[in-house]
Structure 1
Amino acid sequence: MAEGPLLVSACLAGVPCRYDATARPEPGLLAHVCAGHLIPVCPEMLGGLPCPRPAAEIVEGDGHAVLEGRSRVVDANGRDVTEPFLDGARCCLEIARRYGARGAIFKEGSPSCGYHRLHQGGRIVAGCGVTTALLRRHGIQVVPEAVGLAG
């Protein structure tokens, strides 16, 4: 993984910011946050979505399709939440630039942070989330928590 601080999905750092207002804390991660090695981010909340909030999915394709305007992000109530997802992704990119983060450890399966799997229409499909796609386009290495925490 890249040198310097890394972005990390805030839910992995123990922040209850997931759509259902829970966290997915990983043991030992908080010490790295406190030491300044990890910068917690929640793209969905940075984009202005509340917590809790309805679950959301990328309708078709993945984060790259959303960035290119070929797909949308829609929540469980049918509301189009594409703009907050894009806003949150841009906020994460700005934070990475401001603090010199060259990598990120993100929560797999998320429509924002997913690395190579997403939930779509009640099944798991291949693809990355919106924030992951944007960061990758700007040369920021993203890995899922299983890889990032092992290395």
Structure 2
Amino acid sequence: MVRLTDEMKAAFAAVRTFPVATASKEGEPNVVPIGFCMLMDDETIWIADNFMKKTLANLKENPRVGIYIWGPETKGCYQIKGDVVIVNEGEDFQKMREIVLSKMSKAPAKNLIVVTITEAYSCTPGPGAGDRIPLLGQ
């Protein structure tokens, strides 16, 4: 079990749109802006699939994701990586739909992308750029 640090959680809370990267099984990259990206606990992120095409196809072939966390209001810059499970039924899926529809009533909320955080890296310019950040529990 790995968990984000308090600094990473604060940065995550400050960001409104997250660049989310996936790759096909052949390694073809895809990056999209995601507005519904919620930190559910210290080790789990929920992403709502409203309009995914290439991203969803990539996740079905290669269930890994990279999420970039930065904004003018953050104190650091982070890249979070994780393993993905695609959920389209059950209690968590219904909870995600309720949250999404309360903010955007016409959103399709087709799938819940559950990300289990596996690692994190610094993107902050300087000598530590690209270094792996030890997560709590690692």
TM-score (normalizing by structure 1): 0.25
Kindly name which structure, 1 or 2, has the bigger radius of gyration based on alpha carbons: 2
TM-score (normalizing by structure 2): 0.27
